[in-house]
Structure 1
Amino acid sequence: MNASREARFAAYAALLRKWNPSINLVAPNSLAQLEDRHLADSAQLAQLAPDDDEPWLDIGSGGGLPGLVLAIEQPDRPIRLVDSDGRKVAFLRTVIQSLGLSNCTALQARIEELPPASVRHISARALAPLPRLVPYLDRHLAEGGTGWLLKGRNWQAEFEQLGSLDHYRLTVHPSRTDPQAAILQLDRKTIG
């Protein structure tokens, strides 16, 4: 990691710690492991995803995990962060401005009310169970695009509730920060 990235991550972590008591961006009992748990977990996505310049949509961005981490790691990729909570969007915009992340924007909206985005990449972390997330992918992911879902220890139980995923190819990437967690890569099949 270069010095600029290290400085941006340090500044981001400081802002997250400052804002967390008032708007609960991450669970308070996990704040002590911010770098090792939350930031490292999100950074895995930057290593898995292709380093292209295709637009990225991070839904339920909350404290910016994984969207802001990806914006720092891949500064040439346009990234849009979406959250319905205005306080969290204010936090995201503060971080974007403070860190000079010109590749990143934050929007206050409900994901189900946004016009279809038709993007190549969508991410979500700690947003909703898989049965609620997959319809968001269906609505906003372009054919041939990829959904990147960072899931915790219950991901297998959630997966069993899904039923059919005929229009996706699933790849499970074990998490390096929690052996029971996973990053689910859902590649949307091209029709035709």
Structure 2
Amino acid sequence: MHKAASLPDVSRETQERLTCFADLLTRWTAKINLISPGDVPHLWERHINDSLQLVPLVQPGTRIIDLGSGGGFPALILAIAADADVTMVESDRRKAAFLREASRATGCRAHVINQRIESVDLPPAPVVTARALANLSKLLTWTEKLVTPDGYALFLKGQHAADELTDAERDWHMTVTQIPSRTAGGSILKISDIRRV
């Protein structure tokens, strides 16, 4: 049983659902590579708390498309803690099976599309999210058709966020807010008005 780190501003019910998710993820990670085995002891601080940073940046109940959902970060964390209606796009069949089971076990509003991002055809959503998936230019290529005109993307990025922004600005017009992450060296990119140069 995973003991939740103390989570500020999270109800007891939310904490219980996050703990259910953490337990399930730990069990499945022993069979399929959802997170690296070395990360399991640091699951709360490295993955769950990292994803929880996005909760204040989305309206409760918002419809979200999450790209390359993998182990459910940040998608399922937002579905649980922000009561978001999340569509997860995940091409790996086994990871998609985990996401379905975790959605069911935690009782959240989440749907899994087991397809490659390039081939997915979904109505645009007000928010598009991704974490540890691809460089910013590629993320913007995928996001452009999936985000509503007045919507925005939230990308959790590591220490090379500034370099990725510089590269992406050659091909993209966008409005960017860079928010320091609680994860060392990381940042959250909030990006709107996405269009090709």
Task: State the TM-score, normalizing by the size of structure 1.
Answer: 0.91
Partner of 2:12: 3
Cα deviation, residue 137, structure 1 = 1.2
1:64 maps to a residue whose letter is G
Query: Are residue 182 (structure 1) and residue 190 (structure 2) matched?
Result: no
Greater shift after overlay, 62-71 or 138-147? Answer: 138-147
Select the residue among 61, 64, 67 that pairs with 1:56.
Answer: 64
Cα deviation, residue 188, structure 1 = 2.0
- CA shift digits 1:61-98 (9 cap, x unpaired): 000000000001122x3111110001001000111111
Structure 1 stretches of 4+ with a deviation exceeding 6 A read: none
Identity of aligned residues (%): 33
Partner of 2:81: 73
Tell me how far apart the structure 2 counterparts of residues 175 and 33 of structure 1 sit (CA, whole Å).
17
Relative to total residues, which structure has the larger helix share, 1 or 2? Answer: 1
Task: State the TM-score, normalizing by the size of structure 2.
Answer: 0.88
Q: Are the structure 2 counterparts of residues 2 and 54 from structure 1 closer, same or farther at C-alpha, using a change threshold of 3 Å?
A: closer
Alignment check: 8 A CA contact 1:171 1:185 kept: yes
Partner of 1:98: 105
Structure 2: segments with no counterpart, 5+ residues = 1-9
Tell me how far apart the structure 2 counterparts of residues 36 and 121 of structure 1 sit (CA, whole Å).
24
Matches within 5 A, 1:104-119: 104-119=110-125
Alignment check: 8 A CA contact 1:144 1:189 kept: no
Tell me how far apart the structure 1 counterparts of residues 116 and 190 of structure 2 sit (CA, whole Å).
23
**How many residues align structurally?**
186
Q: Are the structure 2 counterparts of residues 165 and 147 from structure 1 closer, same or farther at C-alpha, using a change threshold of 3 Å?
A: farther
Tell me how far apart the structure 1 counterparts of residues 81 and 122 of structure 2 sit (CA, whole Å).
26
Cα deviation, residue 54, structure 1 = 3.3
Select the residue among 7, 23, 47 that pairs with 1:14.
Answer: 23
